[in-house]
């Protein structure tokens, strides 16, 4: 394995970026410290302090909050909030944005799902943290909706940390998708894969078929099509669904195929959040040669109207996505 650390890699990219000031590198350093701290807690969950189980709180999404959700949220908000590089943080766990006082603020906006898939913690299934970085758009010191409700194509960077058999940090700043593996003995992330590309076509589909009774007809037809027998188009596809977006997405990125969380008759906008899940994964998959849509429109072209807006998500290999769009049309 290459012994390039995550910060060394980001610094190299910074040197190749005209006008770079080092603020982004400093911000990313705080994010990776947060990742190491959360990784330690996730991997020691159940040992020592009682960090497993429910916090007793229900979040803005109406979801029961795990103690580790709160812990991860506090860690990222504290570390990134004190970096001096950001003027606002939005989090899936916080109803309102955290606004940094102008005298301690910087030019970036940080958006985070601090612990996605946390309902899987108690059954020891992979979970993750997902983040996005945007530039402040509005002039002057105040943070406005122009800063908090940006279309995903304005992301400066996007990434996720997946806490599993190993802790991986996967990110893009628009020049390819790169993966770093945490060496727990050294407490350092080392470069493991540079400029990842998603296979042009896969052989798996990933969706919660438990919702099929409330799917719209085109969605039903798409999944039936993927299950038909046709050697020429590598069908039937295999179903793989973990119920943790970071894990389902990471497998799709490496092996190809398509992940879907469609809108349905009960929830026309689906379940996943635009800012904290769909937009960052869409930036990553496009930088790896894949595609991401809401079934019709490119995810990165959508301008959200609320920081907690939900959106249907189809994401994966370009050939699988093109076929899905043809069948959903």
CB-based contact 203:256 (threshold 8 Å): yes
Among 208, 216, 267, 309, which residue sits at the site for ligand P6P (rule: CB under 6 A)?
Answer: 208
Q: Is 68 annotated as a binding residue?
A: no
Distance CA 150, CA 112 (A): 14
Among 119, 154, 216, 309, which residue sits at the site for ligand P6P (rule: CB under 6 A)?
Answer: 119
Among 84, 151, 176, 243, which residue sits at the site for ligand P6P (rule: CB under 6 A)?
Answer: 243
Dihedral, CA atoms, 271, 199, 202, 132, nearest 10 degrees? -10
Cβ neighbours for 301, distance < 8 A, ≥ 6 positions apart: 151, 152, 153
Among 271, 282, 283, 287, which residue sits at the site for ligand P6P (rule: CB under 6 A)?
Answer: 271
Q: Which is nearer to ligand P6P, 161 or 245 (CB)?
A: 245
Q: Is 154 in the site for ligand P6P (CB under 6 A)?
A: no
CB-based contact 111:41 (threshold 8 Å): no
Q: Is 291 in the site for ligand P6P (CB under 6 A)?
A: no
Q: Is 117 in the site for ligand P6P (CB under 6 A)?
A: yes
Residues 175-194, mask of contacts with ligand P6P (x by CB under 6 A): --------------------
Q: Is the peptide bond before 236 cis (omega within 30 degrees of 0)?
A: yes
Q: Closest distance between ligand P6P and the C-beta of residue 229, in Å?
A: 27
Distance CA 189, CA 143 (A): 33
Distance CA 176, CA 174 (A): 6
The two three-digit tokens of residue 321, written as one number? 């996505």
Q: Is 203 in the site for ligand P6P (CB under 6 A)?
A: no
Among the listed residues 146, 162, 121, 123, the one whose alpha carbon sits nearest the alpha carbon of residue 35: 162
Distance CA 36, CA 133 (A): 19
Q: Is 277 annotated as a binding residue?
A: yes
Q: Is 245 annotated as a binding residue?
A: no
Q: Which is nearer to ligand P6P, 189 or 259 (CB)?
A: 259
Q: Is 267 in the site for ligand P6P (CB under 6 A)?
A: no
Among 245, 275, 278, 283, which residue sits at the site for ligand P6P (rule: CB under 6 A)?
Answer: 245
# of chain residues touching ligand P6P (CB under 6 A): 9
Contacting positions for ligand P6P (CB under 6 A): 116-117, 119, 208, 243-245, 248, 271
């Amino acid at each position: 394995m290459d012994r390039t650390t995550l910060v060394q890699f980001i610094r190299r990219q910074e040197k190749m970026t005209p006008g770079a000031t080092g603020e982004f590198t400093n911000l990313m350093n705080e994010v990776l410290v947060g990742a190491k701290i959360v990784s330690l807690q996730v991997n020691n969950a159940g040992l020592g302090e009682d960090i497993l189980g429910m916090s007793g709180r229900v979040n803005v999404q109406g979801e029961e909050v795990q103690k580790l959700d709160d812990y991860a949220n506090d860690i990222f908000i504290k570390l990134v909030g004190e970096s001096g590089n950001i003027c606002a943080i939005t989090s899936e766990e916080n109803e309102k944005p955290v606004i940094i006082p102008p005298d301690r603020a910087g030019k970036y906006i940080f958006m985070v799902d601090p612990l996605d898939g946390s309902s899987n913690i108690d059954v020891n299934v992979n979970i993750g943290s997902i983040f996005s970085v945007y530039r402040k758009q509005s002039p002057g010191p105040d943070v406005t909706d122009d800063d908090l409700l940006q279309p995903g194509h304005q992301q400066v960077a996007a990434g996720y940390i997946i806490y599993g058999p190993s802790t991986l940090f996967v990110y893009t700043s628009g020049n390819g998708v790169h993966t770093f593996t945490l060496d727990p003995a050294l407490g350092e992330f080392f470069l493991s894969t540079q400029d990842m590309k998603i296979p042009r076509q896969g052989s798996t589909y990933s969706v919660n078929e438990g919702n099929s009774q409330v799917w719209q007809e085109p969605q039903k037809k798409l999944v039936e099509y993927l299950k038909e027998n046709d050697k020429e188009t590598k069908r039937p596809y295999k179903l793989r669904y973990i119920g943790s977006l970071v894990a389902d997405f990471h497998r799709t990125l490496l092996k190809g195929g398509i992940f879907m969380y469609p809108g349905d008759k009960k929830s026309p906008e689906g379940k996943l959040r635009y800012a904290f899940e769909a937009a960052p994964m869409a930036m990553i998959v496009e930088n790896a040669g894949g595609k991401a849509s809401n079934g019709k429109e490119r995810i990165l072209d959508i301008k959200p109207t609320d920081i907690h807006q939900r959106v249907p998500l189809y994401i994966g290999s370009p050939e699988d996505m093109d076929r899905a769009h043809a069948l959903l049309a």
